[in-house]
Structure 1
Amino acid sequence: MRIFIDGDGSPVKDTAIEVALAYSIEVVIVTSIDHYSLKEYPKNVSFVYVDKGADAADYKIVQLIKTDDVLVTQDYGLASLVLPKGVRVLHQLGYEYTGENMDGLLEQRYFSAKVRKSGGRTKGPKAFTQADREKFKENLVTLIDDNIR
């Protein structure tokens, strides 16, 4: 099992790394070269840098991720592409993407895009809170424990 993180703008990278360290799990952060960093990370963390482009990180994740890996992303489209591979997918707010909730999420995204395209406005996400971070951490630990059993 590895934890992949869709790294561009993810507010839970450090939290996921902290949990992964406790379980000795490898973390792969896929991000745009625009987000290159000299920050030092633990040895279980590696980076895959991709060219600029709207979906470059997504395509690389789909290429690299395998059954029983975990993906952390807020991207519904990416989640829908890796679920059929047997990947567990966790949103940064802590809820898990599943086959049961994916259709509704994609439909909601489609209608919101349609509203914006026609000049309408939709609500953006709420500010990420410490409570959101704690819920994410708790659910990541539960997900890992479920996979280990």
Structure 2
Amino acid sequence: MKIWIDADACPVVAKDLICKTAERTQTQAVFVANQPIKVRKSPLISMTVVPSGFDKADDYIAENVAEGDLVITSDIPLANDVLDNGGQVLTPHGIIYDANNIKQKLNARDFMDTMRSTGMLDLTQMGGQKPYSDKDKKAFADGLNKLVR
């Protein structure tokens, strides 16, 4: 098993938990982003910088994930691709995506995207992403411990 991290939008607290888990379990972790980020120095932890551009990090992860690997991402289309390739998916908020819930999430995401693009959804009325809470941190740590042994 390898842990792949969609690092551009992953909270710092989650990144630290991933590094600790990788070292504790002797599991390789690969952070993927459009620009370098600081990662813990360890032979198990690496940083891959992909070219700038829309979904380049997602594409890299989807192309390189192997069956049984774990991907940390909030990106629904990437999660769907990973599951199609036999991987596992955990969001930084501790949600585990699987065959039972990903299609519903993908459909909801596509619906909201359509609403935004047609102007039917007023983006100024949306509150944006909530701050990363202690509850999120605990849910993520629990999910990570469940999936990486």
Judge same fold: TM > 0.5, yes or no: yes
| Cα pair 2:116 2:122 within 8 Å, conserved | yes
* Cross-structure match for 1:5: 5
* Cross-structure match for 2:72: 72
- SS of 2:29's partner is strand
* Cross-structure match for 1:103: 103
Aligned-pair distance for 1:128?
1.2
Counterpart amino acid of residue 144 in structure 2: L
- SS of 1:47's partner is strand
* Cross-structure match for 2:28: 26
Instruction: Tell me the TM-score normalized by structure 2.
Output: 0.89
Q: Distance in 2 between matches of 1:91 and 1:39?
A: 19
* Cross-structure match for 1:118: 118
Instruction: Tell me the TM-score normalized by structure 1.
Output: 0.89
1:116-140 alpha-carbon deviations (Å, 9 max, x no partner): 2232235332221122011101111
1:53-76 alpha-carbon deviations (Å, 9 max, x no partner): 111111111121101110000000
Counterpart amino acid of residue 56 in structure 1: K
Which segment drifts farther, 124-133 or 72-81?
Answer: 124-133
Q: Distance in 1 between matches of 2:68 and 2:38?
A: 30
| Cα pair 2:19 2:40 within 8 Å, conserved | no
Unmatched 5+ stretches in structure 1 = none
* Cross-structure match for 1:17: 19
- SS of 2:109's partner is helix
Aligned-pair distance for 1:42?
2.3
Aligned-pair distance for 1:43?
2.3
- SS of 1:5's partner is strand
- 1:131 and 2:135 matched: yes
Q: Distance in 2 between matches of 1:125 and 1:37?
A: 21
Structure 1 residues 41 and 112 mapped into 2: Cα distance closer, same or farther (>3 Å)? same
Counterpart amino acid of residue 135 in structure 1: A
Unmatched 5+ stretches in structure 2 = none
Q: Distance in 2 between matches of 1:24 and 1:40?
A: 14
- SS of 1:81's partner is helix
Aligned-pair distance for 1:142?
0.9
